[in-house]
Amino acid sequence: MRPLVSVLVLALATFAQDPSSEPSCVTHCHGEQKTSHAASVHAQALACVDCHGGNPAAHRDKEKSHDPAAGYRGRIQRAKVPELCAHCHADPLRMNPFALPTDQLAHYRASVHGRALFEKDDANVAVCIDCHGTHEILAAHDPRAATAPANLPDTCGRCHSDAEKMKHYGLPADSVARFLKSVHGQALKAERRGAPSCAGCHGSHGATPPGVREIVQVCGQCHVNTQEHYRRSPHFGAEDMQCRACHEEKGAGYRGAGCTACHNTHETRVPGDWMYEGDDVGQCGHCHREADASRELAAAILAGRQRLEDAMEETRDEIRAAKARGLFIDQEEIYLRESKRALVSVQPLAHSLDRALIDRALHDGLKRHDRAREVIAKQATRLRDRRILVGALTAILLLLTGLLAAKLRAVRRLS
């Protein structure tokens, strides 16, 4: 009985607590916001009044709670959101315990969003709450967060897929849709490690479309070897690689430059042999329409790649046949993998347009292929010789057995 009494006393004490110990805004009016805020990263660090102001002690008294003299700000105007967030996020003393940077407002001011907001008073551009949310703000590493890499296409797409909103800025509204169809978008959907998201190329708080000169640097963050080879090529820095000189004169409005001249911007296709033949956008013949050294190099790269691919397929067939015959295959598969590595290396090497370098890689792959076939042939020869030897020994044993049996029969007859 006494334990039950104790429980009842504790329960009554709990209900009897001063309701003003919790801000009236969440106990009386804004329950939905309270639930959202409780699930956010701010739940343990910020209360309602830290952003909205007001008097938290004015229990269920709207006039006192919303008293401007108490610093009540109410619903924050969009244009004031970045600086409100920066009140904490630009303060090293507040951010250091969480290992968060304090320069995000500076980055935002330099972005296309921030410049439009602060220089042109355009409150329709993205501000903090459009990407991070309002009350239920999750950590960027939380897979549920709107700013998690896999969710960024949806987050950015809320604005950048809105045709009416993008029309005002002269931007296409299909960028996100095209990205999701690209090799990068598919990799992001498949949750492949290192797959680029919107922020990977454009930045997050300092979001700015890469300029013509910056594109190689942006792509080079991931495609390091390709960037190095491209910088040594005649294409790098060449005026005719900008493409606009020809296309804008013809009214095509083609904006490709650097990497995007061949690979497109958002709808990047898987690179391959298709790029070396034909004259569509992204193919060598699109710019090099006349039969010249460039067309000859493209044809040579294509022929060399196909020759190595055919040789590798022959090696695979021979390895499969050798395994079926019972040959021990190990080193040969290593040679095949090395041939494949040489074939893969040709893709970034092609950006250098250095035929000698490309031919050397292709030749190295063919040498590995030849070595694998040579080893398989030697093993097959040894297997054939062993079978001949075993057959000969078996025949000799059978002959000796027969002679011995005949001898035994002769001995029996004599006895």
Query: Which alpha helices (DSSP H) does 25-170 contain, by range?
Result: 31-38, 48-52, 62-65, 81-89, 92-95, 104-110, 112-120, 128-132, 152-160, 163-169
Q: Quick check: 152 and 197 in contact, CB under 8 A?
A: yes
pLDDT digits (tens, 9 = 90+) for 274-320: 999 888 888 888 888 888 888 899 999 999 999 999 988 988 888 88
Q: Report the sign of the C-alpha dihedral through residues 145, 147, 150, 152, in that order.
A: positive
184 closest CA partner among 160, 202, 165 = 202
What would the pLDDT profile of 21-31 be if each residue is shown by its tens digit?
Answer: 455 565 567 77
pLDDT tens for each residue of 104-120:
999 999 999 999 999 99
The stretch 225-239 carries a mean pLDDT of 84
323-332, 336-345, 350-359: least confidently modelled range: 323-332
Q: What is the pTM of this model?
A: 0.74
Confidence of residue 242 (pLDDT cuts 50, 70, 90): low
For residue 221, how many other CB atoms are within 10 A of its CB? 11
Using DSSP's 3-state secondary structure scheme, residue 151 falls into helix
Report the pLDDT value the prediction gives residue 64, as an integer from 0 to 100: 79
pLDDT exceeding 90 applies to what percent of the chain? Answer: 39
Give the separation between CA 135 and CA 129, rounded to whole angstroms. 9
Residue in this structure with the two tokens 């029969």, named with its chain if needed: 409
